[in-house]
Structure 1
């Protein structure tokens, strides 16, 4: 019920790369550039190739083992990823993560090899793990095999276009929530709107500045991390943020907080009787009750998170724990009957068929709260506090109806 717990600054782009991105009026446009109207994006000639090669020499020394795996949270050599076989052969990451968080991998899909190489070097210099695909089909294969955090996608490509790739990414369950940034030479608003309608999150117009590229990638990653850290059902912070908040309070020199583990009673039979959609409604209603009663308390800390299912975690001031618990119990009991049909609400129970074929009788939903406080003990880890709160919650469940129990034992 408590998975894993209860159980920036953008680096400056080197001047030579900034020059490489700038349009060169006297240079001859590439064949693909002429065909697709990318006059500003000139062929990467000897000067640009030399620039890229020179920058590669300045990057950290690589070896065959470390180069195939991203690095996150300051730990090198974890989560090694095997090469992916695509329609163009075996594709391997061209870079590795530096300072980026674990999983912040960027996939570049661009049919122009020189541009893809340049974007890849820019991102790698900034510390991102990068994979490059030189066509739509290859990009889809890579994205499906190892879903990236961000896709930089060229709009105008031969064969399957960038817009078609964008739609396919959104339809694949593995990449449905991946951030997609379109790279486009089209400046017309209608073209950009079309990309957003197809599922893109952002766009960059060519020619683009490397600083803008890095800023937009970091923005997409930050937004993606925030979305991953909230419950899609209630919109409340999830397990990672709950752990961070608890760790922060435990690290205080003088601890003064209470952790409350809230859990619904008789939720499974309710789900069986009314279906999962009504079950979701009851969880959202519970979240609203918890948030409203928590907001009425003037003391701090004041935090509410959704652990998943019908479990929630609250962090409050030690001296406010009992008051918050009483308010929650009273408020939930007042609203619980409204979650039922008139007949069930009037008689105060529901009948649900048990596994043995007989009918079981279950009371209306209630809420049990377990409270771990710092009143008589000091916690050294989040897991220790969570274990005490969960233990108290189980004690509360031994009693009928909505209730709470608080740990009053002295710590070691």
Structure 2
């Protein structure tokens, strides 16, 4: 899907420079000389990026566009100013913009600045606000890019057992603290065990993934589970810890007893199976996670299937 760019300039030469620089990219570019007309289109279509020639514009016109950033609906819309070569950093303070390019560097830097801006926004949108780990879009891209490169790696899919009953009894605030704790545990242990080439993502809720070398992921997972299962006890009231369970309501609205929360992890790897698409690998890890949840003790399961074999788990 092409990204929409609106370029606003009263200078035809600058418009031509923009066109020449970006024309071979997958962008849908519209050009305007009138700021008010451009503003109408921006409000209707909400483009991905706006390029504004500030050299040939009045201050009042610039602020018409600049003030859009105060509206949350435009928060992810990128605004880049084209400025004079003598532009100074002091001029930056009153502008809610994402980047600027000096006119003398327009041809050389425009394409790079636009691409970097899009990448930055994608990372921001894809980051989970609770844990600051990358989210689902980046996770999918990471898995697919490794498969496309032919890299051999293992994918772990982790989530919590009995998290919803805990939330229902103790509240979302305490539940959020557990999710943040789990994110920190996974990050610290994975990076300690494999400092380079690892990946950690937060799908959402209590679902996390991490990528490691196949030979390291099992021992790392055992350590993650052990540390989490020890630390999570600190979030329960003493009375419930003594009982070893909490009383809460199940999905049918009935009172039920739920054990102390644990962590389950499913692991798969293209060392044993061939995967062409990230969804195939994610599904295999999810299947193993379901196997792990049925295991009362180890709480993790490894997919050792070859393409024609049945699942074997530890």
TM-score (norm 1): 0.62
What is the aligned partner in structure 2 of residue 45 from structure 1?
Answer: none
> Structure 1: which 5+ residue stretches go unaligned?
1-101
Rounded Cα–Cα distance in structure 2 between residues aligned with 1:321 and 1:400: 20
Q: Tell me, what secondary structure is at the counterpart of 1:368?
A: strand
In the alignment, which of 376, 380, 387 is matched to residue 283 of structure 2?
A: 387
CA contact (8 A) 1:108 1:116 kept: no
Matched, 1:232 2:114: no
Could you tell me which residue of structure 2 aligns to residue 69 of structure 1? none
Distance in 2 separating the partners of 1:158 and 1:315: 51
Residues 1:314 and 2:210 are matched in the alignment: yes
**Gap regions ≥5 residues in structure 2:** 309-314
Distance 1:256 1:118 in 2: 46
User: How many pairs does the alignment contain?
Assistant: 305
The residue that corresponds to 1:287 in the other structure is: 183
Which residue of structure 2 lines up, in the alignment, with residue 146 of structure 1?
A: 45
Find the residue that maps to 2:275 and give its secondary structure: coil
> Corresponding residue for 1:333?
229
Q: 2:28 matched to 1:129?
A: yes
- Work out whether residues 22 and 111 of structure 2, in 8 Å CA contact, stay in contact via their aligned partners in 1: no
Q: Which residue of 1 aligns with 2:201?
A: 305
Residues 1:107 and 2:6 aligned together: yes
Single out whichever of 125-134 and 258-267 deviates more from structure 2.
125-134
Question: Is this contact kept in 1: 2:133–2:200, CA < 8 A?
Answer: yes
SS at match of 2:157: strand
- TM-score w.r.t. the length of structure 2 is 0.79
Q: Secondary structure at the match of 1:362?
A: strand
* Cα deviation, residue 329, structure 1: 0.9
Tell me how far 1:131 sits from its aligned partner.
Answer: 1.9
How far does the alpha carbon of each residue in 1:105-129 deviate from its partner, in whole angstroms, 9 at most, with x for none?
322234x264674455345435332
Give the match's secondary structure for 1:153: strand
| Structure 1 position 229, deviation (Å) | 4.1
Describe the superposition over 1:33-53 as per-residue Cα deviations: whole angstroms up to 9, x where unpaired.
xxxxxxxxxxxxxxxxxxxxx
Moved more, 272-281 or 323-332: 272-281
Name the SS for the 2:127 alignment partner: coil
Say whether residues 1:369 and 2:265 are aligned partners.
Answer: yes
Alpha-carbon RMSD across the aligned residues, in angstroms, is: 3.4
Question: Greater CA radius of gyration, 1 or 2?
Answer: 1
Look up the match of 1:182.
81
Greater percentage in helix: 2
Secondary structure of the corresponding residue to residue 371 of structure 1? strand
CA distance in 1, matches of 2:251, 2:199: 39
Alpha-carbon contact 1:140-1:169 (below 8 Å) kept: no
Q: Which residue of 2 aligns with 1:261?
A: 157
1:108–1:153 contact (8 Å) kept in structure 2: yes
| TM superposition shift of 1:371 | 1.6
